[in-house]
Homo-oligomer: A and B are copies of this chain.
Amino acid sequence: MSILAVGSIAFDSISTPSGRVENVLGGSATYFSLAASYFAPVRVVAVVGEDFTAEHENVLKKRGVDTRGIERATGKTFRWGGTYAENLNEAKTDFTHLNVFEQFQPHLPREYRDAEFLFLGNIHPALQAAVRRELDRVQLTGGDTMNFWIQGTRKELGETLKLVDVLLINDGEAKMLAGDTSLPRAAHRVLAMGPKALVLKHGEYGATIFFREGAFGIGHHPFRAPALPIEEVQDPTGAGDSFAGGFMGYIASQEQLNREVLKRALFYGGVMGSFAVERFGTERLQTLTREEIDARFQVFRELTHLE
């Protein structure tokens, strides 16, 4: 079944120890959509400016992404610049020009309203909630957020968390959201805020999914997927959204939602994240094949599999 993704489209200027690129296509909706497109049909809702050309749109269209929900506004597309130091753990933001993104109000095309899978990328939690409330056939909502919203829009975020089935955030965000430096304790506190499941992304150490007791009828034992030790990470930008795309995409491609599907989804999330960081921007996500993806899934599986 198809997935509706709401988020940002951006032009990124990125410096890492491996090099530098300027104004390459990025944004949460872009990374998510490309990654998810290998598993299920994707529809995207975002806003761009007049500098967003047919060539840019074709990056998404070539992967079959439905771009009718991309709104063209007067002005420039969201631009972000960041620099990663040697350890690649976190980007130092060089600049953020919100441009048309500042006034973003997601408009859902009529054709999108039967969406059954929804991903709420990292935008203002009030907008995330508004999108969710417009849809009445959604089976599963995935969501992301970040420190900026956790600190600045706590109340709105609290409302949104009640509408999100699976929240996907990183360890630092979970600790900040829960106000607890113990990761497992933080996980349980976040689950008490609303989500049925919480995916914690540990960067190069993989990811863990925690379940609220009784959620999805599958017990509450956590499950962990590894990340591949990659020697040459060129650009970590978009790894988290690519993870979410693999995770949600795999779920949407399955007929049932059970524990085994969620486990495999966590592995596919890691797989798509690992591809994303191999090249700058979305380059690697544009030209993958499902065979390459499944081959890496097997590598991930072997990485922790006991006979």
A303 touches B204 (CB 8 A): no
A304's contact among B187, B202, B204, B226, by CB below 8 Å, is which? Answer: B226
> Complex formed: what's the CA distance from A90 to B301 in Å?
31
Known: A206-B205, A306-B301. A229 touches B222 (CB 8 A): yes
> Complex formed: what's the CA distance from A263 to B86 in Å?
31
Residues of B close to A202: CB separation below 8 A: 205
B303 touches A230 (CB 8 A): no
Extra pairs beyond A187-B229, A260-B306, A301-B306 (11, CB < 8 Å) = A183-B204, A183-B229, A184-B230, A185-B231, A205-B205, A205-B206, A221-B302, A222-B303, A223-B304, A264-B306, A304-B304
B187 touches A306 (CB 8 A): no
A224 within 8 A of B: yes
Known: A202-B205, A230-B184. A223 touches B87 (CB 8 A): no
> Complex formed: what's the CA distance from A13 to B109 in Å?
65
Residues of B close to A128: CB separation below 8 A: none
Q: How far is the CB of A177 from chain B (nearest CB, A)?
A: 16
Give the size of the chain A interface in residues (CB under 8 angstroms): 38
Q: How far is the CB of A172 from chain B (nearest CB, A)?
A: 11
Q: Within residues 263 to 277 of chain A, which ones have a CB less than 8 A from any CB in chain B?
A: 263-264, 267
> Complex formed: what's the CA distance from A258 to B165 in Å?
43
Q: How far is the CB of A88 from chain B (nearest CB, A)?
A: 8
Give the residue name and chain of the B residue nearest to A185 (CB). B231
Q: How far is the CB of A225 from chain B (nearest CB, A)?
A: 7
B208 touches A229 (CB 8 A): yes
Q: How far is the CB of A307 from chain B (nearest CB, A)?
A: 6
A305 within 8 A of B: yes
> Complex formed: what's the CA distance from A144 to B271 in Å?
32
